[in-house]
Structure 1
């Protein structure tokens, strides 16, 4: 599932973590590929995590993805993280991979906000 989602974003996401265990839908914690996101942005030098063109592109890609999968794999929301995964917090493995379980634990507050009705400006609905 993770590989299919990353492919759907056409390189705009560098990596992401899927949340959704024991939930009705999936939500994503995402890190942008700054080079690819900047190509989509219409505002040079903007904060790419809140750039309307980048956000809109990803919403469109996730909607397209949702049309091809069953309900258990549909994406309901996502957040574009500004802070990279932390090696000190165990979010990066010794082999330099993102430790999905650690990210979900360390960023559990953000995960919960992905599923609340009044989540905040950084949570983007699909």
Structure 2
């Protein structure tokens, strides 16, 4: 693929109006930077986050990005919260229930 194609796809990976099917195709691209750009976007559609979690399960950086997604199911947030590599990102998820926030505080020994 010509360099100008890779550069254009890198720009496309940041395009805020790129639909989920385009983002999913970009995740299959050989260029690591393009895949990373997609994974780091804010406001990813949940089906793209699911693919990131499934296909990049061993990549902590992509799992951290997915852990922040505001529509991530609570059981998955909890799973990511229990993983030392993704706990910080999961703790910042806006859907994290208060009881899990208290569990973090308790675990850190913060007094009531």
Q: TM-score, normalised by structure 1?
A: 0.22
Richer in strand (by share): 1
Give the TM-score normalised by structure 2: 0.24
Which structure has the larger Rg?
A: 2
Higher RCO, 1 vs 2 (CA within 8 Å, ≥6 residues apart)? 1
